[in-house]
Amino acid sequence: MVTIVDYKSFEKENGEKFYCLVVQGGVEAVKSQQTGKTYFTARTVTVPTTFDEQTCSGLIGEKISGVVKKVETEEYDYTVTGTGEIIQLNHRYEYVSEEDNIIGSNVMQPELVH
User: Which domain range does residue 34 map to?
Assistant: 2-112
Q: Encode pLDDT of 16-43 as tens digits.
A: 999 999 999 999 998 887 888 999 999 9
What's the pLDDT score for residue 110?
61
Phi/psi of residue 65, nearest 5 degrees: -70, 140
Q: Specify burial of residue 96 (Cβ count, 10 A radius: 0-12, 13-18, 19+).
A: buried
Angle, vertex CA 92, rays to CA 23 and CA 106, nearest 5: 85
Query: How many domains, in total, are found in the chain?
Result: 1
Q: Are 2 and 95 in contact (CB under 8 A)?
A: yes
Q: What is the reported pTM?
A: 0.75
| Residue 87: C-alpha distances to residues 18, 19, 61 (Å) | 29, 28, 32
